[in-house]
């Protein structure tokens, strides 16, 4: 029902679509082939243009044509309306011209129609002289010729040629009727459009009739053609040459019924049946009538009987129980020792032992912790079966007497040697291997014959250096390293480099890093400036001086002495350069005249500056 409703809706949409396309179902085409007016005169026998000289018009006509298509009238009235359409051409030529029969858009007039073509028609063709070059007004004096043709024509792509003559002119034109795309028939009123969808699968013939595509049938070619073997009642086709089964049927051609999905040993003749095969019974054919004889499930002398609900039932002797008589009952004589009681359980029986005994038959005495000695710091724990030793890490055994050998399981791989430790082990791996168990392949990264020391260090042979022995030591040609520096030549890269010892810096190891010698006292921090070749001591809050050598509690006594206005004023962070004197708010260079006007240094001042002057002079003499 839903499929029919869907089809009705789709057909309604198609009808609406077709109604919107009926804006034109065909076209009447006219084109002028040739026109002869040798005298260049109109139908009133006057010249189109100019004057008459020796019975000859001095100028040619400019000829255009007016087309009027109307319903069939014979004879047509002169004032008849163009009921089927009208149009005109531009100027096609002068008094006489020949355009040929080839297609020409300029001289072809198209008159579309949106009704069923009646086949009979009346066509009026008028030749005019363009005197005003104005299509909106036509003066009857300038009509050259008017011809009227009445006939019957059916839609076709062939042109119908017509030649009309008068006393002064001859006109040749042709016409035809052509149906629009998807329209066919003698009246262009038959619609047919190729489609390949759920509404149909067909194409259109030359006369517009539907012809089904291969594999489809029906008025609208919407029914798939099924294979001949496909069952008519249990199968159907949605696509050609396929067989889709209805519910309850299966197989290539839908001839096999589906049985109940839980049916084990049965067949069906209709969907969802379960008809048992020989030897089976039950609603789902899951009960084996011959189970007892096939499998003999009853043990210990039990007798088997067929049961329609559970295949079989075992009748057990008095001493056994269970679905297969596989479990023992408590015998008449108590099997439990030491006053133990026999208790039946689901899987047989067991002995419930008296206090102080354990075992399957209560045959073992329970040991208490006061009689158990645990070695290696083990701890005795009481349980249901008596005391037992809980061993610390690294020991095992009933009394924790055995040390666990971690190397016993041979954990080291790839030829590694196991070294046992307490509660641990280590692997001594061969070269190219590493990891806890020597499981990692680690090829030696040392180049040029270097020897691997561990996993990250290389011992290079003579002539090579670098982290991986990748640098060839060549004699330097351009660079000369000072202060014990070593020159390396990179021949491949074309450069040389100085490797300076500790405390030396610079491209040629020419600068000394004074901070290496730790010149700052009393916990001061040394900062070396390579560009200025100087260093600074950052003093703590309790000290001052270039080397933080003065305690601020005693330094103010010197600073506050009389005539101390010219003393250098030190800050918490002082700097020193070998070429110059101390930097401060005031610089002491030794070049100030020691005159009375400048107030000569006192003995205390000399003692204050003596260590500084001594170091300054030593550095200047040594040129460092």
Total length of the chain: 624
Asked which of 85-89, 404-408, 488-492, 547-551 is least confident by mean pLDDT, the reply is 488-492
Q: How far apart are CA 34 and CA 350, in angstroms?
A: 128
For 164, counting Cβ atoms within 10 Å of its Cβ (0-12 exposed, 13-18 middle, 19+ buried), the class is middle
Q: Domain ends where: 403, 418, 447? A: 403
Q: Is residue 592 part of a domain?
A: no
Q: Do 132 and 141 touch, CB atoms closer than 8 A?
A: no
Q: Do 155 and 186 touch, CB atoms closer than 8 A?
A: yes
Average pLDDT over residues 267-274: 92
Q: Is residue 239 part of a domain?
A: no
Q: And the tokens for 366? A: 């329970």
Q: Is residue 399 part of a domain?
A: yes
Domain co-membership, 40 together with 168: yes
Q: How far apart are CA 43 and CA 28, in angstroms?
A: 28
Residues in a beta bridge with 573: 538
Q: Do 312 and 292 touch, CB atoms closer than 8 A?
A: yes
The boundaries of the domain holding residue 306 are 290-328
Asked which of 185-189, 430-434, 543-547 is least confident by mean pLDDT, the reply is 430-434
- In terms of average pLDDT, the best of 264-278, 317-331, 563-577 is 264-278
**Can you give the pLDDT at residue 395?**
87
Domain co-membership, 324 together with 218: no
Q: And the tokens for 255? A: 């001839």
**Can you give the pLDDT at residue 21?**
44
Q: Is residue 581 part of a domain?
A: no
List C-alpha distances in Å: 205 to 60, 209, 216.
Answer: 51, 5, 16
Percent pLDDT > 70 in the chain is 81
Residue 196 sits in a domain whose CATH number is 2.10.25.140
Nearest to 416 by CA among 425, 549, 495, 172: 425
Q: Is residue 448 part of a domain?
A: no
Domain co-membership, 84 together with 111: yes
Domain co-membership, 198 together with 169: no
Domain co-membership, 112 together with 67: yes
Q: How far apart are CA 542 and CA 474, in angstroms?
A: 53
Q: And the tokens for 92? A: 């096609």
More confident residue, 321 or 494: 321
593 pLDDT more than 60: no
The residues, any chain, with a CB within 8 Å of residue 578's CB and separated by 6 or more, are 533, 534, 619, 620, 623, 624
Domain co-membership, 111 together with 165: yes
Using a CB cutoff of 8 Å and minimum separation of 24, what contacts does 128-132 make?
128/63, 128/64, 128/65, 128/66, 129/42, 129/48, 129/49, 129/61, 129/62, 129/63, 130/62, 130/63, 130/64, 130/91, 131/48, 131/49
**Can you give the pLDDT at residue 232?**
84
**Domain total in the chain:** 5
Q: And the tokens for 280? A: 């089976």
SS3 of residue 576 by DSSP:
strand
612 pLDDT more than 80: no
Nearest to 515 by CA among 524, 506, 527: 527
**Can you give the pLDDT at residue 402?**
87
570 pLDDT more than 50: no
Nearest to 72 by CA among 146, 147, 124, 127: 124
- pTM of the shown model: 0.40
Distance, C-alpha 87 to centroid of its chain:
62
619 pLDDT more than 90: no
Nearest to 352 by CA among 368, 341, 338: 341
**Can you give the pLDDT at residue 104?**
52
Q: How far apart are CA 50 and CA 40, in angstroms?
A: 10
Neighbours of 243 (CB within 10 A): 20
Kindly indicate the confidence band of residue 429, based on its pLDDT and cuts at 50, 70 and 90. confident
Domain co-membership, 162 together with 49: yes
Neighbours of 458 (CB within 10 A): 21
Q: How far apart are CA 127 and CA 89, in angstroms?
A: 10
Q: How far apart are CA 614 and CA 606, in angstroms?
A: 11
Average pLDDT over residues 576-587: 35
Domain co-membership, 49 together with 80: yes
- Which uninterrupted H or E stretch holds 611? helix 603-622
Asked which of 211-220, 389-398, 515-524, 578-587 is least confident by mean pLDDT, the reply is 578-587
More confident residue, 256 or 140: 256
Q: And the tokens for 190? A: 């038959």
Q: Is residue 153 part of a domain?
A: yes
**Can you give the pLDDT at residue 85?**
92
113 pLDDT more than 90: yes
Q: Is residue 302 part of a domain?
A: yes
Kindly indicate the confidence band of residue 183, based on its pLDDT and cuts at 50, 70 and 90. very high
Q: Is residue 428 part of a domain?
A: no
Q: What is the pLDDT of residues 147-176, one digit of tens each?
A: 999 999 999 999 999 999 988 899 999 999
**Can you give the pLDDT at residue 6?**
52
28 pLDDT more than 90: yes
Average pLDDT over residues 264-293: 90
Question: Alpha-carbon torsion 374, 376, 381, 385, what sign?
Answer: negative
613 pLDDT more than 60: no
Q: Domain ends where: 328, 356, 390? A: 328
H and E: helices and strands count for the chain: 4, 55
Instruction: Tell me the average pLDDT of the chain.
Output: 79
432 pLDDT more than 50: yes
Asked which of 469-478, 550-559, 577-586 is least confident by mean pLDDT, the reply is 577-586
Domain co-membership, 95 together with 146: yes
Q: Domain ends where: 531, 553, 575? A: 553
Q: How far apart are CA 484 and CA 500, in angstroms?
A: 7
Residue 308 sits in a domain whose CATH number is 2.10.25.10
Domain co-membership, 391 together with 301: no
- In terms of average pLDDT, the best of 216-225, 344-353, 423-432 is 216-225
Q: And the tokens for 461? A: 């042979």
Residue 139 sits in a domain whose CATH number is 2.60.40.3510
Q: What is the pLDDT of residues 449-505, one digit of tens each?
A: 888 876 667 888 877 887 788 777 766 777 888 888 888 877 667 788 888 887 788
Domain co-membership, 37 together with 71: yes
Asked which of 159-163, 192-196, 541-545, 575-579 is least confident by mean pLDDT, the reply is 575-579
For 415, counting Cβ atoms within 10 Å of its Cβ (0-12 exposed, 13-18 middle, 19+ buried), the class is exposed
Q: Do 302 and 320 touch, CB atoms closer than 8 A?
A: yes
Kindly indicate the confidence band of residue 365, based on its pLDDT and cuts at 50, 70 and 90. confident
For 621, counting Cβ atoms within 10 Å of its Cβ (0-12 exposed, 13-18 middle, 19+ buried), the class is exposed
Kindly indicate the confidence band of residue 600, based on its pLDDT and cuts at 50, 70 and 90. very low
Domain co-membership, 39 together with 180: yes
For 121, counting Cβ atoms within 10 Å of its Cβ (0-12 exposed, 13-18 middle, 19+ buried), the class is buried
Q: What is the pLDDT of residues 372-418, one digit of tens each?
A: 889 888 898 887 667 888 898 888 888 898 888 888 888 899 888 99
360 pLDDT more than 50: yes
Kindly indicate the confidence band of residue 133, based on its pLDDT and cuts at 50, 70 and 90. low
């Amino acid at each position: 029902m839903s499929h029919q409703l869907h089809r009705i809706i789709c057909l309604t949409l198609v009808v609406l679509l077709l109604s919107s396309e009926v804006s034109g179902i065909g076209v009447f085409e006219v084109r002028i082939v040739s026109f002869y007016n040798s005298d260049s005169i109109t139908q009133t026998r006057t010249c189109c243009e100019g004057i008459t000289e020796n019975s000859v018009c001095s100028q040619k006509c400019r000829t255009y044509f007016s087309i009027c298509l109307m319903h069939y009238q014979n004879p047509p009235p002169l004032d008849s309306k163009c009921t089927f359409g009208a149009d005109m051409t531009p100027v096609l030529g002068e008094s006489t011209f020949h355009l040929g029969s080839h297609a020409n858009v300029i001289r072809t007039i198209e008159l579309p129609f949106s009704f069923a073509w009646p086949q009979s028609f009346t066509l009026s063709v008028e030749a005019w002289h363009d005197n005003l070059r104005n299509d909106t007004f036509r003066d009857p004096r300038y009509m050259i010729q008017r011809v009227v043709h009445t006939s019957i024509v059916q839609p076709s792509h062939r042109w119908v040629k017509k030649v009309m003559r008068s006393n002064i002119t001859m006109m040749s034109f042709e016409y035809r009727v052509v149906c629009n795309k998807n329209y066919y028939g003698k009246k262009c009123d038959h619609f047919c459009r190729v489609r390949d969808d759920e509404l149909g699968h067909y194409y259109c013939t030359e006369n517009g009739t539907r012809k089904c595509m291969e594999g489809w049938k029906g008025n609208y070619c919407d029914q798939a053609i099924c294979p001949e073997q496909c069952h008519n009642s249990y199968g159907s086709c949605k696509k050609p040459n396929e067989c889709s089964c209805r519910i309850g049927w299966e197989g290539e051609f839908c001839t096999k019924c589906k049985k109940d999905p839980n049916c084990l040993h049965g067949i069906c003749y209709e969907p969802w049946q379960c008809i048992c095969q020989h030897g089976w019974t039950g609603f789902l054919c899951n009960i084996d009538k011959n189970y007892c004889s096939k499998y003999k499930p009853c043990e210990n002398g039990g007798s088997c009987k067929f049961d329609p609900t559970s295949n079989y039932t075992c009748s057990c002797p008095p001493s056994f129980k269970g679905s297969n008589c596989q479990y023992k009952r408590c015998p008449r004589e108590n099997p439990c020792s030491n006053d133990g009681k026999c208790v039946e359980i689901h899987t047989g029986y067991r002995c419930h032992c008296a206090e102080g005994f354990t075992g399957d038959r209560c045959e073992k005495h329970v040991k208490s912790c006061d009689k158990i000695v645990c070695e290696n710091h083990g701890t005795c724990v009481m349980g249901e079966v008596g005391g037992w030793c809980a061993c610390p890490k690294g020991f095992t055994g009933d009394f924790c007497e055995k040390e666990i050998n971690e190397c016993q399981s041979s954990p080291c791989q790839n030829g590694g040697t196991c070294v046992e430790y307490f509660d641990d082990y280590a692997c001594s791996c061969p070269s190219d291997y590493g990891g806890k168990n020597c499981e990692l392949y680690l090829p030696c990264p040392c180049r040029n014959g270097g020897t691997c020391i561990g996993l990250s260090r290389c011992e290079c042979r003579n002539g090579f250096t670098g982290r991986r022995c990748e640098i060839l030591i060549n004699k330097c040609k351009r660079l000369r390293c000072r202060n014990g520096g070593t020159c390396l030549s990179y021949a491949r890269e074309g450069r040389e480099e100085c490797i300076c010892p500790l405390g030396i810096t610079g491209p040629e190891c020419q600068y000394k890093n004074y901070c290496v010698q730790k010149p700052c006292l009393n916990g001061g921090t040394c900062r070396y400036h390579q560009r200025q070749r100087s260093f600074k001591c950052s003093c703590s809050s309790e000290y001052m001086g270039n080397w933080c050598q003065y305690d601020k509690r005693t330094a103010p006594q010197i600073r506050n002495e009389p005539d101390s206005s010219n003393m250098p004023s030190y800050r918490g962070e002082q700097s020193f350069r070998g070429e110059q004197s101390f930097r401060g708010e005031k610089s002491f260079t030794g070049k100030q005249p020691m005159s009375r006007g400048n107030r000569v240094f006192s003995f205390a001042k000399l003692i204050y500056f003596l260590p500084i002057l001594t170091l300054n002079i030593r550095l200047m003499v040594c040129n460092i």
